[in-house]
Amino acid sequence: MESLLEPAPDAAWVLAAKGYDPVREGIYEARFSISNGFLGVRGARAVSHGSRWSEPVRTYVAGLFDISGPDHPLPALITAAGWLRVQIIPTDELLAHHPVEAISHDTTLDMRRGMLLTGARLAGPSVAVRARTLRLVSLCERAIGLHVVELQVEEGETEVTLEASFEGLGLGLVPEKVEHDLGVWRTRYSGKRLAMAAATSLQIDGSDIVPARPRPFAWSWHWKTHPGQTIHLVRLIAAARSDTRHADPRQIAWGKLRDAQRLGWRKVVEQHEAAWSERWQCSDICIGGDPAAQQALRFAVYQLNSAVNPADERVSIGARGLTGEDYHGHVFWDTEIYLLPFYTLTWPEAARALLMYRFWTIDGARAKAAAMGWRGAMYAWESADTGAETTPDRVVVPDGRIVDVLCGKLEQHITADVAYAVWQYWEAARDEQFLLDAGAEILLETGRFWSSRAQPEPDGNCHIRGVIGPDEYHEQIDDNAFTNVMARWNIRRALDVAALLRERWPDHWANLSSRLGLVDAELAQWRTDAETMATGRDPRTGLFEQFAGFFDLEDIDLAAFSGRSVPMDVVLGQERIQRTQVIKQADVLALLGLLPEEFPGDSATANVRYYEPRCSHGSSLSGAMHGLVAARLGCSDLALRYFQQAVAIDLADTHTAIAGGLHMAALGGSWMVAVLGFAGLSLHGEGIAFNPKLPASWQSLGFVIQWRGRRLKIEIDSAGQCLLAKLQAGNAMTLSVNGRQHELRRDQAAVCPL
């Protein structure tokens, strides 16, 4: 057991915190979360507030949504029962009267093995105990959680009671049947059910001790301590979710628990570690010369691998994953734009599942479009489990005012963002079954939406009026460049997929077009709409006007506000900021990040020079997109600065907002800066291209990607001015490096000069 409770020796693979700071408790709980895409567990400390040593921990189950009541119909992710509670209670006094009375406390996230380890020394007047814990949620069998506690008595002989229990058994859920080791709960309104089963054992100096059972999901042991005594507590849990009240998840949870018990907890650990080893082989990223960047990217990749469950197509990844409750577990455009690139290129099965979530919720998107008077599918700005719009109509802001929230109605670019992710996956994976089963329908129905949304006007152009772009400081705007150009791109890809189906799968096209009521006349109209879409691009300067009238707004020098501690909309106020060119986050530059081909010649540089100084970065999504754009243009110092800002959001203790959960988009965006930016990876035509531009402090950059059934290992060496490519799996292919073609075969590595 000694080695299992010790973290990886390489500092690049661990994230550690020493001591205890109650002010930062929420930050640490988010940062040290563990998850497997089905179960998420907050990283609460082994020593917490109160008079006993305990581990109060929030647990989340993907897809477990419910509303708070008929008058508040917006669904939120429900907290499941916490299963890590442990109390040590000496008979004559409390072991620790306050957290700071712990003589030492360490928390370590072992990213290589996907587990959280803690250590603490607790002392009272008559006894001192050193405690170590291990917790994980299995990446091999996602229903399973494991908690191991080791206690070593250093001093004292006294009677103690140890109790292991679940907490919050009725928090947000209605109990149906709760027995000693097996419980079933249901949501109040959404018709979902959750089952949890548990088994707990305790050994003292190698001998099993039979527990008392004071109540369901509670185990209690009482004994007398002596110096040198060693206590081992092992707890296994299994959880199962069903999405209807008729399906019974009890047998699933009970069966998974029994399987884990037959394996034994050490084998559970072994299989979990093997699953993580496989993930790291497919997704690790190595940086030479910058240890801080290395650790930050490992953390990002660890959290991205933890956030998704390829076996469940009915759930996606919320803005905070399964690490906190901000945004109620809702799914935004973050998933498609900032996370899907990582999954598409390192874990295609996960990317497919996330895109299938959008297919299974397409009826909600169709209903939203129809309710607003348009055709096709218009995806929800905030989505939960059904695809219905879950954005609140109004919220209470910190100063107590009630303000209207227009994003759910007007931030419509989400529809093109979903289509973008579908097409990128198709380009990278060539998954024909996905295209036929789901992808084509998403592209066609989103293309249909944009054709109905963009209206022709007397000037001969199609206009999209009354929207919000990525820059949410400006509302009810016309012809947002990001929205319009992405809409045009979406329509053109819908036409491409229609032509592809007609040519390669004519029977499927006949069935699908008939079911959707698609006729040639409508496709012809789409083509006209795309060709006449207003974009706001000045062909003389190459500048895109962010939206109609943007260039006429007040220009404010943001450098004068560099010392501010609050966002610019707070500094200037909601009304004034809409009359200025101050931008919340990447908007035109987000378009440059996604569709660089829309910026020929020097227009990319011209747009960066104009918009970068005007962005206040009031969103966690902004820094990474700016970094990606800057890296591709060779502005490596600027790109590195934005990369560092992006990773600092979740790793610097100055960002208290992470108490509500990690910023998944910033984590995915940091990977994008490294691989799509500094390495210059792009997908085009029938191959992959690289145009590397590493920061001066990065000696090398290595990573693994998957493309059309192949696995490639890439290493960029700054000193040797070369890119080394190895084809680890799949058929021979052609690689483009700085515009030169290189043949890549399994039997030899390709050395590509830079």
Residues classed as catalytic:
472
Residue 602 · residue 542 · CB < 8 Å: yes
Q: In what order do the strands lie in the sheet with 722-729?
A: 285-288, 700-707, 710-717, 722-729, 750-753
Q: Does an H or E element contain 304, and which?
A: helix 291-306
Integer Cα distance of 249 and 189 in angstroms: 18
Integer Cα distance of 627 and 629 in angstroms: 5
Q: Compute the residue count for the chain.
A: 754
Q: Report how far Cα 690 is from the mean position of its chain's Cα atoms.
A: 26
The residue among 418, 419, 406 whose CA lies nearest residue 468 is 406
DSSP 378-446: ---SSB-SS------SEEE-TTS-EEE--HHHH-TTHHHHHHHHHHHHHHHH--HHHIIIIIHHHHHHH
Integer Cα distance of 350 and 313 in angstroms: 9
Enter the tokens of residue 173. Answer: 């859920």
Integer Cα distance of 152 and 25 in angstroms: 26
Integer Cα distance of 615 and 623 in angstroms: 10
Enter the tokens of residue 494. Answer: 């819908």
Q: What are phi and psi of 383, to 5 degrees?
A: -125, 145
Centre a 10 Å sphere on the Cβ of residue 736 and count the other Cβ atoms it contains. 17
Enter the tokens of residue 84. Answer: 């890590």
DSSP 183-234: EEEE-SSS--EEEEEEEEEEEETTEE-PPB-SSTTEEEEEEE--TT-EEEEE
Integer Cα distance of 366 and 377 in angstroms: 4
Integer Cα distance of 511 and 248 in angstroms: 36
Enter the tokens of residue 686. Answer: 């029938």
Integer Cα distance of 707 and 625 in angstroms: 23
CA angle 630, 631, 634 (to 5 degrees): 90
